[in-house]
Amino acid sequence: MDRRRVIAVATAIGLAPGFARAAETRTGLRVMSFNVRLPRPEDGRDRWEARRDLFIETIRRAAPDIIGTQELWKIQGDYVLERLPGYAWFGVDRRGGHGDEHMGVFFRRDRLRVIDLGNFWLSETPDVAGSIAWGHPYPRMATWGLFETMAGKRFWLINTHFPYRAEDEAARSNCAAAIADWVAQRPGSDAVLLTGDFNTGPDSEAHRILSARLEDAWTAAPERTGPEGTFHGFTGTPGKRIDWVMARGLTPVAVETVDFGRGGRFPSDHFPVVADFR
């Protein structure tokens, strides 16, 4: 696996007081999966510059401890750190640099520290940055980290984004098998979290493969809020549930699909998923 230590760390200090209070009364771990939608001028009224403050507000309201993002470009990650300096993030882009989409992982610096981190590509040559396999047109990858809480508890998080075309279902299954193999290589006593945009629904072969190793928080948590569907294409009308938070060795207690928006505008074309674990 590629273990490049590429990490962006906030240089400003502290958390906004209200933001810090949002987590003070919470125990356990709050995890968010969020496809941020890359910055495309062609998106017009939904371009990044027009929705970035809604994006920040969405994160601030949820106050997650850790976030797995998809489609993140460096200018977006830098903006998050500028506005939410209590976070840091790490990751390389899907071609191994910083000029394309990242699977950026954000974490609260006051609640978590990184023990180890790395990346691998969802291909037949996982150590080769930018490698492609199984017939889809773009590199696909996973970014992972080993974290420790302030109480000394450790867990792994792996974050990914699967191929998107309808004809890529077999490729998504191969990607799922690669992720499942990575999970299987973690010691059985270790807690593992998976976040991602899987571009397929829970009735898919990819979900079945991952479910053999991990529990889907949406179906396992006793408390569920928000719509089931996560992709909405900036319409606010939920479609298929393609964004998941899955886990091993942690107990999900609540999960929410966050459909926050304002005036018909939304922070992304996906609703983020937030899951609380004990």
Task: Give the residue extent of every domain in the chain.
Answer: 7-277
Query: And the tokens for 165?
Result: 């075309």
Burial of 22 (0-12, 13-18, 19+ CB in 10 A): middle
CA dist 274 and 211 (Å) reads 19
CA angle 242, 205, 224 (to 5 degrees): 40
Give the C-alpha separation, 107 to 113, whole Å.
Answer: 8
CB 158 within 8 A of CB 192: yes
> Quick check: 55 and 77 in contact, CB under 8 A?
no
Distance from CA of residue 5 to its chain's centroid?
Answer: 19
pLDDT at 27: 76
Q: Block means of pLDDT (10 residues each) for the chain, length 278 residues?
A: 43 39 68 98 97 98 98 98 98 98 98 98 98 97 98 98 97 98 97 98 98 98 98 98 98 98 97 97
Give the distance from CA 165 to its chain's centroid.
20
Residue 154: CB atoms within 10 A of its CB come to: 12
Strand partners, 187: none
For every residue of 83-145, DSSP letters joined together read H-TTEEEE--BTTSSSSS-B--EEEETTTEEEEEEEEEESSSSTTSTT---TT-SS--EEEEE
272 SS3 class:
coil
**What kind of fold does domain 7-277 have according to CATH?**
Deoxyribonuclease I; Chain A (3.60.10)
CA dihedral 232, 160, 153, 29 (to 10 degrees): 0
- Could you tell me which of 236, 169, 155 has the C-alpha nearest to residue 200? 169
Distance CA 220, CA 246 (A): 9
Looking at residue 24, what is its pLDDT? 52
